Structure 1
Amino acid sequence: MKPAAVLAALAVAAATLSACGSAEPGTPAPVAASSAAPSATSSTADQPAARTGLGAPSPSPRPSTRPAAAGNPDGRAAVPAEARAVDTSRPTRTIGTGTPASCTSAAVVKAVAAGGIITFDCGPDPVTIAMTATAKVRNANGPKVVLDGGGRVTLSGQGKRRILYMNTCDRAQGWTTSHCQNQDHPQLTVQNLTFAEGNSTGEEAEGGGGGAIFVRGGRFKIVNSRFVRNRCDRTGPDLGGAAVRVLSQYENKPVYVVNSTFTGGSCANGGALSSIGVSWVVLNSVLRDNEAIGRGANPARAGTPGGGSGGAIYCDGNEFNVRIAGTVIEGNDANEGGGAIFFVSNNRTGTLRIENSTLRRNPSRGFETRGFPGIFFLGARPPTVSGSRLS
């Protein structure tokens, strides 16, 4: 399924899949949705216009058309400097010339390929750009690639295509090092944007997945963004990520997801996020009403196509860590394991921490880990849960 030219990380991923399968039980004892959460120490588990002159009345401000902020407004998790929005006050290039009509799919594709800090000038009102092609990052054009929608831009895949793609190991996008699976560039940031109706169904490169965004290599973060009604293939034992799929990050540094919202995603696994061998830090965000709709788990049970795990988040691999803080994960659904989170560290070195967060109403229709409603977990030790509610 992977090109032979791709380096050793893919062999690791392949080994991961079979290892995961051998560890996943078929019918663990179910946990009632009303189960009490483990204790914190559990080991088991816009502004008016300025006056025009002294004494002159202020003109009436134009009503704001900016959508409500993404993410969890009640989230209080501290955001480290490297996870914050990038300063785009001096952009490298701007998409649009002040009108909605000037903001086109072709302009987005061209700008992303050129790289640098990219902003939009589509007029004062919200605009949706119907993508007629996938925007692809060129690996030599960076090292930073920042796409900032200013809170008014939606990129729509129209239910037909993936929206954004970066892959340091894709020869078509240019190889820039001899170790494509572990390089520190490009560093891709998406911020103040909405990604809607992305669909990667039928995309087979790198195993598929990533309905809105697919990333392999370099660094990646998401800030103040929304992902709405994205899709990827309906079946498959390990593909996933209706919104986002990530494979490998430089030195296993984490993907940051900050003040962002994921809703209405649907895929075989990982109704919002999916990865293999990748660490995540999800801060002050909302993952709601996403679904893992595959059937048969991983490896696929006889007579089934496989999949169905991680209603919101699907993480597989060997050594990786996930931290969820100040976040709400609710109303997600998995046909198999982990209505909220599916986490399998095959060599049992991975860790999961949940801090000051709420996980509720995330049914696991096949299996989950006793005492952790909505979670299926295999790792170094039981998930660490503090200041949080799981129900």
Structure 2
Amino acid sequence: MRRELAVVLVVMVAAVLVPGGPAGAGAGPGNPGGGAYVPAEARAVNTSRADRVVGNGSPASCTSRAVVAAVAKGGVIRFNCGARPVTIKMTATAKVRNTSARVVLDGGGKVTLSGMGQRRILYMNTCDKSLVWTTSHCDNQSRPQLVLQNLTFADGNATGERAEGGGGGAVFVRGGRVKVVNSTFVRNRCDASGPDVGGAALRVLSQYRNLPVYVVRSTFGGAKGQGGVCSNGGALSSIGVSWVILNSVMSYNKAIGRGANPARGGTPGGGSGGAVYTDGNRFTVRVAGSVIQNNTAREGGGAIFFVSNDMTGTLRIEKSRLRNNPSAGFETRGYPGIFYKGAGKPQVVASTLK
């Protein structure tokens, strides 16, 4: 049956398709030829006037302790680590205080934050009282607003994290708003089993008024051995959260759980959404100008797993290419790499699925 599903679906004309692979060396993250329009609210933030600077010009001055302290204080944060690229080994997870109106982390394209395979890199949760509970409706508040731009997140590991169900190997967010711009996520991971745990790179819950998470010109994986690995959602995972993914690349990510959701008898559950795992009721996912390829799922949705429990959610794919995203268990007939339950059919415009 999977051979039957491995068909080529071409909608409209090939002339509008994005380039066939990740950005080349030196081209930066994401799919620069994607061509999807990026609205103002999804663009990088001007950080020329920083509230805080990590480092004094030398690589040695850019420490985990300095990053943790800057994130706790909030505001616009830049790095001054010297002229060459630098990797900051995070010996503790940086945590956003909910009293911050906005936290912007701008790595200038030269900074990698590494969890060293031992810990999650960044955590924000408006419902975590240890980080100050600022409203009586913590699951639906506009602040903090977290912006991650021009950064690389490497070797984050949320395995064993139990708060809010875990997941989010590099970054976990609940509440407020979050967007990711011009950034790269490599070799991140979270728990290998569980029916709903997910998001080796990024796990998001409870965004303000269900406004979307923007992911713009960013790369998740990008090369063999660089992708994220988790029970579900080798790159992204959420419950009841909407996404707009623009001009990005997701490749070589893996959903390695077994038993799907709800878990089949005798299994721990999981294994869906090689790149993207989404679940909940009313939410939307839009993928535009992006390349999703060479991701795998042990169960359903080698590229995208989308389940709207009340059948109100919608999935739209435009000017994008999805290819070679095998689903070892199940997928929606006619949509290779996708498992979809929502309102109507997935909308596929000017895109290739194969």
Task: Output the TM-score relative to the length of structure 1.
Answer: 0.85
Root mean square deviation of aligned Cα: 1.2
Residue identity matched to 2:42: A
Which residue number in structure 2 is paired with residue 91 of structure 1? 50
Aligned amino acid, residue 241 of structure 1: G
| C-alpha distance in 2 between matches for 1:104 and 1:120 | 11
Matched, 1:82 2:45: no
Q: Which residue of structure 2 lines up, in the alignment, with residue 215 of structure 1?
A: 173
The answer to whether the 8 A contact 1:32-1:373 is kept is no
Q: Which residues of 2 match residues 288-303 of structure 1 at below 5 A?
A: 288-303=251-266
Equivalent of 1:305 in 268, 285, 300? 268
Q: 1:248 aligns with which of 206, 211, 216?
A: 206
The answer to whether 1:160 aligns with 2:118 is: yes
Structure-1 residue corresponding to 2:327: 364
Identify which of 103, 120, 125 aligns with 2:84: 125
**Aligned mates of 2:124, 2:67 — CA distance in 1:** 14
Superposition pairs of residues 308-347 of structure 1, within 5 angstroms: 308-347=271-310
**2:93 corresponds to which of 134, 139, 145:** 134
Matched residues, percent identical?
70
The one-letter code matched in structure 2 to 1:279 is: S
Who wins on radius of gyration, i.e. which is larger? 1
**Deviation (angstroms), 1:73:** 1.9
TM superposition shift of 1:31: 5.3
CA contact (8 A) 2:10 2:350 kept: no
CA, structure 1 residues 215+203, in 2 after alignment: closer, same or farther (shift >3 Å)?
same
- Once the two structures are superposed, the pairs formed by residues 1-391 of structure 1 within 5 Å of their partners are 30=2, 32=4, 34-37=6-9, 39-40=11-12, 68-141=27-100, 143-263=101-221, 264-391=227-354
- 3-state SS of paired residue (1:151): strand
Structure 1: stretches of 5+ with no match in the other structure: 1-28, 42-65
**Aligned with 1:274: secondary structure?**
strand
Contact 2:5/2:334 (<8 A) preserved: no
- Kindly state the Cα deviation for residue 74 of structure 1 after the two structures are TM-superposed: 1.4
- How far does residue 87 in structure 1 lie from its aligned partner after superposition? 0.3
Give, in whole Å, the separation in 1 of the partners of 2:205 and 2:79.
28
Partner SS for 1:82: helix
Q: For residues 5 and 122 of structure 2, what CA distance do their matches in structure 1 show?
A: 36
Q: Which runs of 5+ in 2 are unaligned?
A: 14-24, 222-226
1:301 offset after TM fit, Å? 0.6
Q: TM-score, normalised by structure 2?
A: 0.94
How many residue pairs end up in the alignment? 338
Which structure 1 residue ranges, 4+ long, deviate > 6 Å from structure 2? none
Equivalent pair of 1:31/1:371 in contact (CA under 8 Å): no
CA–CA distance in 1 between the matches of 2:6 and 2:202?
30
Q: Give 1:95 deviation, angstroms.
A: 0.2
CA distance in 2: counterparts of 1:135 and 1:178, whole angstroms:
24
Seen in structure 2, the aligned counterparts of structure 1 residues 381 and 33 have a Cα distance that, compared at 3 Å, is: closer
Within 2, Cα distance between the matches of 1:144 and 1:193? 17
Secondary structure in structure 1 of the residue aligned to 2:326: coil
Contact 1:262 1:272 in 2 (8 A): yes
Q: Distance in 1 between matches of 2:71 and 2:6?
A: 46
